[in-house]
Structure 1
Amino acid sequence: MEFPRIQRHEADEVVAFLTAEEWPFHTEPKTDGAAVHARVAGGAYDDAFWISEGPDRLGLVRLLDLDDGTPLFDLRVRASARGRGAGTAAVRWLTSHVFTNHDTNRIEGTTREDNHAMRRIFTKAGYAKEAHYRDAWPGPDRWYASVGYAILRQDWQTGTVTAVDWSG
């Protein structure tokens, strides 16, 4: 799998990818193409990467808040490519990319409580569950819990997962 950086001149491809299907576990399941064009032009995808396998684009992963010391990321894997390890490979690659190229101590991510695939990806990639915010994520039919995960630089370096002390 390869992770080429998305270029601003690829705005049409980014729009086509994001509007081709719905993203049920994201806050905006239907993507507005004009808004994506504006975000790409404004630099919001300057730290984004295609998830590619040969000529096929399986997804994309975008870094957010890279300059504030605790970056987040947005992962999108095409429905037809899910369940084949692309998401796990992308999160592992992104984690290595961030810790190798940036001076940050942790990377965070959140997902909806019922996004079991993403929760497995976090675990497989060495992220620890750190938060469970009840009724924090609006859905089409009800409120869902938002579940937060993070990985520490030291855990990435040693291949361990530091347990969260839930007693305090």
Structure 2
Amino acid sequence: MYKLRELERIDLDRINKWRNDQNLIACLGAPYRYINEDVDHEWYEKYLHARNNSVRCAIVDDKQEEVVLGLISLLDINSINRSGVIHIMIGDNENRGKGIGTFAVNEMIKHAFYNLNLRRIELGVLENNLPAIRLYEKTGFVREGVKRESNYKNGKYVSMIIMAILREDYESMPSLRSENDE
């Protein structure tokens, strides 16, 4: 089905294509910018030097690891507060709505809680990105607040919903309990 693997230099051409897709970026919190390949290579090099407080993974087909379907990251990892911020991007439109995002978010949550010993993961999602909000709620994230009209997208301001999941909330989810009973 799918798996996560650390982002590799070879993935950058595909990611650069996505980061230059105005329709895709319109769904995300980041502003649209024209990004050339040199910028993405520098972005990757900065990641390699910041691996102690960030994890960037390609979401791939488990039978064809070179087929990158999306990108999921856990950033701003804080070892004192035991927290981090999650970001996800499913690149091509035909790959959305297939459970890829649900798989990747669940895998990154498990990695954060059980390998990195975090206890809180948070995120921001545009209020009009209803598929993403449903995905986050399904994976256990809870709405904590709203940053009103905080992001400028396509000529207007859009509010950002702040969501988070705590380790104890995740461990009390019925779907997780049934997995552990097997």
Q: What range is the shorter-chain TM-score in?
A: 0.7 to 0.9
Q: Structure 1 segments of 4 or more deviating over 3 A?
A: none
1:42-70 CA distances to partner (integer Å, 9 max, x unpaired)? 22684111111232321010111013532
Please say if 1:98 is aligned against 2:112.
Answer: yes
C-alpha displacement of 1:6: 1.4
Residue 124 (structure 1) aligns with: 138
C-alpha displacement of 1:39: 1.5
The answer to whether the 8 A contact 1:88-1:121 is kept is: yes
TM-score for the superposition, normalised by structure 2:
0.78
TM-score for the superposition, normalised by structure 1:
0.84
Structure 1 residue ranges without an equivalent (≥5): 161-168
Instruction: Provide the secondary structure at the position in 2 that maps to 1:126.
Output: coil
Separation (CA, whole Å) in 2 of partners of 1:82 and 1:29: 20
Residue 155 (structure 1) aligns with: 169
- Given residue 76 of structure 2, which amino acid in structure 1 is its aligned partner? D
The answer to whether the 8 A contact 2:122-2:163 is kept is: yes
Q: How many residues align?
A: 157
Separation (CA, whole Å) in 1 of partners of 2:11 and 2:119: 33
Please say if 1:76 is aligned against 2:78.
Answer: no
Among candidates 29, 50, 53, match of residue 32 of structure 2: 29
Residue 45 (structure 2) aligns with: 41
Separation (CA, whole Å) in 1 of partners of 2:105 and 2:146: 20
Separation (CA, whole Å) in 2 of partners of 1:82 and 1:134: 27
Residue 14 (structure 2) aligns with: 16
Of residues 80-89 and 63-72 in structure 1, the stretch that sits farther from structure 2 once superposed is 63-72
